Structure 1
Amino acid sequence: MGGILFLAHRVPFPPDRGDRIRAHHLLKALARLGPVHVGCFAEGADNAGQAALAEMATSYCIAPRTKALPLAGIEAVLAGKPVSLTAFNSRQLATWVHETIARHDISAIVVFSGQMGQYVPTEFAGRVIIDLCDVDSAKFASYAEAGERVWLNAREARLLAIEEERLGRRADATILISEAEAALYRSRLTAPEKVAVQVIGNGIDAEFFDPAAARPHPQLESLPGPHFVFTGQMDYRPNEQAALWVIEGLMQRLLQRFPEAIFHVVGRNPTRALMAHHGTPGVHVWGEVPDVRPFIAAADAVLAPLLIARGVQNKVLEAMAMARPVVLTRDAATGIDARDGEDWLMSEADPAIMCNRIEALLSDPQASARIGAAARRFVLDHHGWEAMLAPLAGLLGDRDEAERHAA
């Protein structure tokens, strides 16, 4: 096949957060199929990952994303567009896309995340694949329903839904991260029969996230605990909300039953609301760390009490691959067909119920070890990246590669 144009809303290196992880492995899979030209954004002047991108891509353009969100919001309102699109609008990147298509034999465009669909030229005649991952319009609708910036989030939900349908009709295939997200996406379309939907879930690098590859963090190992760990990008609203839910509700109950318990919030850019709790009884906010594995390895349980979640949670798969017992809400379990009580513990988003499930887990070390071992087996059997991304070849029209995977 000819060249592939890959458009992503962030530089797909290093693979150190949920969206970058998926984009990174998607790029690796595409590079096995043909020459790849990559257009993406960097936050401000940060070009971290440029050297790695240069090694994998035939050509690339990294556009700086410097537009302040309030300015993007004003432009969006004036233009009648979603803020998500204006925030990722770049004349530099648009010019590079047109020049790349003109100079190279581009047979397919693969778009990662709906913000980047605006760069697909109307006149492009090759195949177009849109990886929405999850339904962003539904996420903003959830925020509005929860009373958060109601007008702005309701507007974003409405306009993004229109853009998501436009992209679906434009694409030869629209990828969602789980059957649940695919069903949600179809339910929000005015003409679902005009959109070809494909489910491709998230994988996990089980060699990297291997309990044998990382020792528990010495500071956690030196304290009695029990230790509860939450990982993620901590200025991402659903992550912040979940961590605050633990700190302000669950931890009060856990400390009554386990007086030396500590909840560890691990991930870059913790918000001011989270940092205000750092050092309070039972709470340690670490911020960005060079490697999350020692924290996961030291956890008596990894918590994922997400109240609003879209798509598959990498934090859950990483903890499962590390053979740690995961206690999570139903929203955090989306797209992962594990078994409650066998591969993880699912709880209602109720501090009393979750506390009881955690207490029962910690009172039976053998059960905890059994659930952790089952979790790793589940990830190895069902969530390897190569197997997850195998359908890409067929979607892009590479029949030989698709048949090789099928065999």
Structure 2
Amino acid sequence: MAKRLLFLCHRIPYPPDKGDKIRAWHMLDRLAQDWEIDLGCLVDDPADLDHLPTLRTRCVSVEARRTGTRRQAALRAILRCRPGQPLSLGWFREAALWDWTQAHLAAGTHDAVFVYSSAMAPYVMTPAARRPGLRRVLDMVDVDSEKWRAYAADAKPPMRQVWAREARTLLAFERRAAAAFDRTLFVSAAEAAQFRAMAPEAAGRIDHVDNGVDLSAYDPQQPGPSPYAPGTLPLVFTGTMDYRPNIEAVAWFAEAVMPLLRDAAPQAEFHIVGANPTPAVRALAALPGVRVSGGVPRIQPWIAHAAVSVAPLRIARGIQNKVLEAMALARPVVASPEAFEGVRALPGRDILVAEGATAMAASVLDVLAGRHPGLGARARAAVTEAHDWRATLRRLDAVMAPDAAAAWRAFA
């Protein structure tokens, strides 16, 4: 008899067009090879409902529930907030999905539960989930509380107090969740090590599954036509452009780094490529040499034909898919130390890591001047060796095996 898995996800995992959905989709697709899956997920973009048929080819059943607008979700979070509880839990609590999950747990028909993101952990921290023999695995992905701590450090009152409270209460919840699940995973060894230090009581239950990249989808031999004007030196940043760390990264690069670059290389153009650019992002197009494209049908040509892919993130958690994708397409990548975290590559050989505007401009100019020949080819080789999804997900196979403890020890 096939094993049955309940898979919960805070965002519909298809299409895999942004960081959290990419990881969730590859995990779901891998698990579907060995498990019969009932998928419960939330949907924040109604257009994603068009992709339910694809998910149903992998799952026995799919329960997808709308979260409503951002304003509605925020109001829900505020109304449901209780002393000592993080706001983000209320944001992702949806009544119908909650009832669906509890009914499945009470039925006792599943061998395991896989929960993607700490926001969904409360759905499985209930009496119905404490059935003996039910294996519970949480992919926390990142230490999300650290992101809120970084927001607070850079904010002014009253938001400094709001983000600081979120960081404090979310960390407390993350620790409770790690204690409640049989295994909690993170996106990299570095992220797992940081959480072990923050939650030593759960250290024996913590490990990681590295993020990967689809090497066939990001193939430098199939770049597609160039979207750039002839005679320019395109620099590219890719990512969802209503996400605060991405917004801050492109604003800083456009305002602090581009003037330095344009002085030495007037043909340099900075292309911001990604869906949902905010008004602040669109306003950057008024700066010399800055272009804002918005969403595009395929991201690969924008990366493959760029002279340099830049990742100047100053707030970053886990492994950045934008870095892995650019490396897979054999592009020279210049990244901040924050964006490089978790990437299994050698700085200076496979990727350039630069901190501050002067250093980042110098690294980009070195690439444009041809001082790093072969950097792109070595980048492709590095991710092929260390970040191929087919290899990284073997750790997921181990943690989900019937005798998971023995399988994990053998794998490690």
TM-score by length of 2: 0.92
Structure 1: which amino acid aligns with 2:3?
Answer: G
Q: Secondary structure at the match of 1:374?
A: helix
In structure 2, what is the Cα distance between the partners aligned to 1:329 and 1:122?
A: 44
CA contact (8 A) 1:320 1:375 kept: yes
Number of residue pairs the alignment of both structures matches = 400
CA RMSD of aligned residues (A): 2.0
Change (3 A) 1:170 1:78: closer
1:209 to 2:211 alignment: no
Equivalent in the alignment of 1:157: 167
Q: 1:131 aligns with which of 115, 121, 139?
A: 139
Q: Percent identity among equivalent residues?
A: 37
Q: Is the 8 A contact 1:3 1:104 kept in 2?
A: no
For structure 1, which segment, 9-18 or 98-107, has the greater mean C-alpha deviation from structure 2 after superposition? 98-107
Aligned twin of 2:235: 228
1:102 deviates by 4.0
1:50-105 CA-to-partner distances (Å, cap 9, x unmatched) read 11111111011101101624413422444642111101111100111122234462
Q: Give the stretch that moved more between structures: 351-360 or 137-146.
A: 351-360
Determine the structure 1 residue equivalent to 2:56. 54
Deviates more, 1:144-153 or 1:74-83: 74-83
The whole-number CA distance in structure 1 between the counterparts of 2:78 and 2:67 is 16
- Partner of 1:191, secondary structure, is helix
Q: Is the contact between residue 254 and residue 355 of structure 1 (CA under 8 Å) also seen in structure 2? A: yes
Deviations 1:339-382 (A, max 9, x none): 1111011101x1111111111221116x24x0000000111111
The alignment status of 1:198 with 2:200, answered yes or no, reads: no
User: Is 75-84 or 237-246 further displaced after alignment?
Assistant: 75-84
Task: Please point out which of 291, 294, 300 is paired with 1:287.
Answer: 294
C-alpha contact (below 8 Å) 1:232/1:239 kept by paired residues? yes
**Map 1:170-181 → 2, pairs under 5 A:** 170-181=180-191
Alignment pair present for 1:376 and 2:388: no
Conserved 8 A contact 1:343-1:378: yes
Query: Structure 1 residues 327, 52: closer, same or farther in 2, change over 3 A?
Result: same
Structure 1 residue 289, shift from structure 2 partner: 0.4
Q: Which amino acid aligns with 1:74?
A: I
- The Cα offsets for residues 150-195 of structure 1, whole Å up to 9 and x where unpaired, read as 11101111111111111100111100111211121122226244x5
Aligned partner of residue 11 in structure 2, secondary structure: coil
Equivalent-residue separation in structure 2 for 1:391 and 1:363 (angstroms)? 41
CA distance in 2, matches of 1:86, 1:44: 18
| Distance (Å, rounded) in 1 between the aligned partners of 2:249 and 2:395 | 33
Q: Does 1:363 align with 2:369?
A: yes
What is the aligned counterpart of 1:168 among 178, 186, 196?
178
User: Aligned residue for 1:335?
Assistant: 342
Given the alignment of the two structures, is residue 346 of structure 1 paired with residue 353 of structure 2, yes or no? yes
Q: Which stretch shifts more, 311-320 or 114-123?
A: 114-123
The 8 Å contact of residues 311 and 335 in structure 2, kept in 1 or not, is answered as yes
**Deviation (angstroms), 1:130:** 0.5
SS at match of 1:228: strand
1:216 Cα deviation from its structure 2 partner = 4.2
Deviation at 1:13, TM superposition (A): 0.4
- Residues 284/318 of structure 1: CA separation in 2 closer, same or farther (3 Å cut): same
